Chains A and B, each alone.
Chain A
Amino acid sequence: MTTATFANAPTTGAKPFKLIRHSAALAKRSLLKTMRTPEALLDVTLQPVIFLLLFTYVFGGAIAGSQSVYLQYLLPGILAQTIAMSATAIGVNLNTDISKGVFDRFRSLPIARSAPLVGAVLADFVRYALVAVITLSVGYAMGFRIHTDPLQAAAAMVMAATFALALSWVSVCLGMIARTPGSVQGMMILLVLPLSFGSNTFVQTSTLPGWLQAFVNVNPITHLAGLSRSLFLGGPVTSHLLWTWGWIIGLTAVFMPLALRAYGRKV
């Protein structure tokens, strides 16, 4: 009883496989939670649909002169933007786990410290895919058509997901330092709202006043939406691609170390 009880030491499996297995188990848990509380997913699923319907049918005629023309302009931007903005959820979710003590349960288990974080990111990618499918389906029903090819359309979504991953670090950072899940949500909305509306997602940049154009032209969402548009409909890609990668690298370089340090302190 004295020494034998301590014999159930961890099996020394290959570490990377363990991390993947544990992260997958935690991602499954995150998705189960999402299915259990569908209202949590409503904003990312319903919001693009509402934006599509609202902007196309209410403003489409006024902005572009034709609803069908406007839908072609709008959908790639909405899609990219919605995927990117879904990144706000990760910080809220991690903060909730910490404040409810669920995180401590995971930390008392012999799993890699990074597993809960990797699991959260994996689950996010599944959610991005869901958002893409819903938005595209509704768009197609409304008359949207891809003018390039499926490969380029897929590339547009992969870029949006990559940008989302970069933005996740900001969200994780806030999730680690904020006191409550609600305040993480609030701060992320403050960040995300000007980015999404101060972009060319809904209107052409040329229609805006000069000072706003300056902001729109450096806004990552502008370039992500522009890139998406070019990949779905055809058009110049290079400039938008460089800008988007610039932002992805910049955000990651600044916020990943900060997020990992804050996370490391909690873990």
Chain B
Amino acid sequence: MTTYAIEAEGLQKSFGDTKALNGVDLFAKPGTVHAVLGPNGAGKTTSVRILATLIKADAGHARIGGYDVVKQAERVRATIGLTGQYASVDEDLTGMENMELIGRLLDLSKRDARARAAELLEWFDLSEAARRPAKTYSGGMRRRLDLAASLVGRPSVIFLDEPTTGLDPAKREDMWGVVRQLVGEGSTVMLTTQYLEEADALADEVTVIDRGRVIANDTPLGLKRVVGGQTLTVQPSDPARLAEAAALLQQVSGSKAESPRQGVVAVPVKNDSALTETVARLHAAGIGVHELSLHLPSLDEVFFSLVGRRAGDDAAPGDPKAGSLQQTADAEEADARLTV
């Protein structure tokens, strides 16, 4: 019956005077990765906590795998795995003890709990550290143990709350690999992130939220189209040839080059051949470069495009009145752009 693994409509939640969520809708199809993208304090974690039955929404409703998160909370809990800043392992216990405890709480027999624990620790490369207390683990190991602990019950819906925040790039890639594998095995993953790059690497669909509201819901490609593709940045090794490089970039992309910082020119590009063409032209012109990069718009740029302000400019988050009018107007504007 269920067409969505995760469905939430009109979620509202206030903490005291602060409106954390103000009508959030989220839908994820089974077997997909859904990213919830937004800056700190946007309401990402609150959304996940409601969906994971940890807190109740003031208004709106949500279903996981067809089960209502309030009325059928226990069924939901048997369906989900939760990893994040809010669901942690016990630091005093070893990796193995943590995993076995979860197994026992999920009604596995002692033997099965141990076997499942060993299997997951092996998968997450924690076998050697299995007998050490979790507080001796590095940040990356802790994160892997957290994730492993949430997978003991073979959940079909997995929530990852900022799974890679604070991880170095190599560890982040590892985590991405794990997410892809989970989805490959048929699970549905909802992850929150502050990085568009991460949403882009993993997600089938992205919901951008800000100040408790959904401001965009699209595929990563669709989102990037809204914000205008990638940016190509060049830093000539000879600063004197900056103008030349700028002109060259302008020819390749057809848009005006800007200088975001001293000695660097950047230009928005839409097609994939821009980088190779630029390299060829720079070579032909004999311009050496210190830096040449093609990068996705940052979350900040996405934000700027969607709501017309920077992600960091949070006008009094505790005062909903101050931002609400502006917010509505901005959101409508964003919608208008998305429908184009």
- The verdict on B74 contacting chain A, using a C-beta distance below 8 Å, is yes
Which of B88-96, B164-172, B210-218, B255-263 is the contact stretch? B88-96
Contact B97 A10 (CB under 8 A): no
- The verdict on B222 contacting chain A, using a C-beta distance below 8 Å, is no
CB-CB < 8 A to A32: which residues of B? 92-93, 97
Give A168-198 as 1s and 0s: 1 = Cβ < 8 Å from B's Cβ atoms: 0000000000000000000000000000000
- The verdict on B30 contacting chain A, using a C-beta distance below 8 Å, is yes
* B window 12-50: CB within 8 A of A: 30-31
CB-CB < 8 A to B275: which residues of A? none
CB-CB < 8 A to B92: which residues of A? 32-33, 36-37
Contact of A109 among B85, B106, B156 (CB under 8 A): B106
Which of B75-83, B231-239, B293-301, B309-317 is the contact stretch? B75-83
Contact A25 B101 (CB under 8 A): yes
Q: Which residue of B lies closest to A28 (CB)?
A: B101
Main secondary structure of the interface of A (DSSP, over half): helix
Contact A11 B107 (CB under 8 A): yes
CB-CB < 8 A to B150: which residues of A? 108
Main secondary structure of the interface of B (DSSP, over half): loop
* A window 87-108: CB within 8 A of B: 100-102, 104-108
CB-CB < 8 A to B153: which residues of A? 8, 109
Q: Given the complex of chains A and B, what is the CA–CA distance between A5 and B80 in angstroms?
A: 11
Do A8 and B156 form a contact, CB below 8 Å, given A101-B88, A104-B54, A108-B87?
yes
CB-CB < 8 A to B77: which residues of A? 108-110
- The verdict on B282 contacting chain A, using a C-beta distance below 8 Å, is no
Contact of B65 among A6, A21, A101, A111 (CB under 8 A): A6
Task: Give the B-binding residues of A (Cβ under 8 A).
Answer: 1-3, 5-6, 8-11, 13, 18, 21-22, 25-26, 28-29, 32-33, 36-37, 100-102, 104-111, 115
- 19 of the cross-chain contacts (CB-CB < 8 Å) are A6-B156, A8-B153, A21-B104, A25-B105, A33-B90, A101-B85, A104-B86, A104-B87, A105-B88, A105-B149, A106-B105, A108-B53, A108-B54, A108-B81, A109-B77, A109-B102, A110-B74, A110-B75, A115-B105
- 8 A-B pairs besides A2-B31, A110-B77, A110-B106 with CB distance below 8 A are A1-B30, A5-B31, A9-B75, A25-B104, A29-B90, A36-B92, A100-B88, A105-B87
What are the nearest 7 A-B pairs in CB distance?
A: A101-B88, A5-B156, A6-B65, A10-B78, A25-B104, A110-B77, A110-B78
